[in-house]
Chain A
Amino acid sequence: GQNIDQPTEMTATEGAIVQINCTYQTSGFNGLFWYQQHAGEAPTFLSYNVLDGLEEKGRFSSFLSRSKGYSYLLLKELQMKDSASYLCAVREVAGKGNLIFGKGTKLSVKP
């Protein structure tokens, strides 16, 4: 079956670093995605990992371990505008395109 787990909520302080974990069990694997979704808005693409290791994009980094079915999103130098939900998603099969989403982690950044 398909299962993508991530914490429901997290709180962090402005300027700090936060790590959002995601574990997955899917029948296939063709990449893991992280999306950001502000309240009342559409999800927007943050990062993609298909090989093991770390991908860095400015203040955001994403890590993947395929053998462990595990990923994390690392946010550095947190800003108030980073308060949002962060969605972990897996593409099971190449050629269909669709993603399976976790329930999302709501991050609150406090001053």
Chain B
Amino acid sequence: NAGVTQTPKFRILKIGQSMTLQCTQDMNHNYMYWYRQDPGMGLKLIYYSVGAGITDKGEVPNGYNVSRSTTEDFPLRLELAAPSQTSVYFCASSLPDRVGDSSPLHFGNGTRLTVT
């Protein structure tokens, strides 16, 4: 059982380039998320999805786009890379949560992105 798989593991981009961070999960989780983690800062939510065809903005969505055409995949798109987007990006998935249920987030191993 692979869990949440992210590709690539590392990437260096020049300012203005674009790329897609891939995320796929094989746990049949409806909910998926993209977080970024900067040194000394907590994980910040970029976008999330509660099911195929449904996406919503998180706390820091500017400069990013997502799509959710299948339950398994939740790619994150950077259109015009900027140095402020240098970060570690984590994709996560979970079962739908109900009041009192833990439904913890399961994280992928992250993509380390540098924009120069």
Residues of chain A whose beta carbon lies under 8 Å from any beta carbon of chain B = 4, 8, 30-31, 33, 41-45, 48, 50, 87, 89, 91, 94-104
Contacts and interface: CB of A to CB of B under 8 A. Distances in A.
Secondary structure of the B contact surface, majority rule:
loop
Contacts of B106: 45
- A interface majority secondary structure: loop
Interface stretch (B18-26, B40-48, B77-85): B40-48
Given A41-B110, A42-B108, 8 more contacts: A31-B97, A42-B90, A42-B109, A42-B110, A43-B90, A97-B33, A98-B45, A100-B42
13 contacts: A30-B99, A43-B90, A95-B98, A96-B97, A97-B94, A97-B97, A97-B103, A97-B105, A99-B43, A99-B105, A100-B42, A101-B42, A103-B41
A96 B50 contact: yes
A39 to B, nearest CB: 11
A96 to B, nearest CB: 7
Contacts, number: 70
Interface string B41-80: 1111100101000001010000000000000000000000
Closest 7 CB pairs of A and B: A48-B102, A101-B42, A42-B107, A45-B104, A97-B31, A101-B43, A103-B42
B99 A43 contact: no
Given A42-B90, A43-B90, A44-B107, A94 B42 contact: no
Nearest to B102: A48
Contacts of A44: 107
Nearest to B38: A103
A42 B23 CA distance: 14
Given A30-B99, A42-B109, A98 B42 contact: no
Nearest to B59: A100
* Centre residue among B40, B97, B98 by max chain A CB count within 10 A: B97
B45 A50 contact: no
Contacts of A8: 40
A41 B112 CA distance: 11
